[in-house]
Amino acid sequence: MKYKEFGDKINPTIILLHGGGLSWWSFTDLIHLLKEDFHIVTPIIDGHGEDGETPFISIKDSAQKLIQYIDEKHKGKVFAVCGLSLGAQIVVEILSQRADIAKYAVVESALVVPPTGVIRFMVKSGSLFYGLIRQRWFARIQAKALYVPESLFDQYHRDSQNISKESLINIFTRNTDYTAPDTLKNTKAKVLIIIDGEEVRIMDKSVRKLMSVLPHSRVCIVPGMKHGELSLARCKEYLALIKQFMV
């Protein structure tokens, strides 16, 4: 796992974890808005972008690596950890493994209750998808779905070429078979759960699970938005939301 840093290190540290198929640059606009007041760390999850040569193993493995980084570089605690989708699952796992690792946590679109009967399908889909992502025309379709701006398309396309078939299949399967550990209930972090309005039905069981384990968490359903749209395409609204939460 590699790390990009922005802003002054004397400021409170916020860690931003990107979604599957993306990299640190997906938060470029958000970083620009945050870096004056915060020290921003954007990990590159194994198997993605500049760390494409390191196979993605699992959400638990990624969480352990990030905890080790926080221990070594930030004395075991940061101001906030925020994640989208796969990144949000890693945030959940981090909170489950280390109760006092952050003061705040933002979990956007985290699947924590596995859908039934889809794991084998996802393995097959990963194999098929691997061939498609190497095609520029398909990358265009995916970039639009992932809210990648035109200015970052070439970066996205280059990064998509770096992901290995092993990593892609592991990302697909681990994303869909992840279950939030019961130890999540021990976290001392204040947790904000964000659900984009267009994915409420898909995320319903996961939200209920998180709310049952974290009864004092705050849940925000953003009407009319699709998966990842808030933090990736409406970052000013995302920032306003999390700043209101982190008071």
Q: For position 90, which CATH number holds?
A: 3.40.50.1820
Structural domain boundaries enclosing 46: 2-116+178-245
* Regions of the chain with pLDDT less than 50: 119-120
In the prediction, which pLDDT does 118 show?
Answer: 52
In a domain, 121, yes or no: no
Q: Which residues contact 239 (CB under 8 A, 6 or more apart)?
A: 30, 33, 34
- The residue ranges of DSSP E strands in 9-101, in sequence order, are 13-17, 39-44, 78-84
Question: How many whole angstroms separate alpha carbon 17 and alpha carbon 146?
Answer: 15
pLDDT of residue 85: 93
What does the pLDDT read at residue 124? 52
pLDDT of res. 213: 93
Q: Distance (Å, rounded) from C-alpha 69 to C-alpha 47?
A: 18
Q: What pLDDT is stored for residue 125 in this prediction?
A: 58
**Pick from 109, 126, 116, 119: which is nearest to 207 by CA?**
109
Q: Do the domain assignments include residue 144?
A: no
pTM over 0.75: yes
User: pLDDT digit string (tens) for 97-133?
Assistant: 999 999 999 999 999 988 765 544 555 555 666 777 7
Q: For the chain, what is the domain count? A: 1
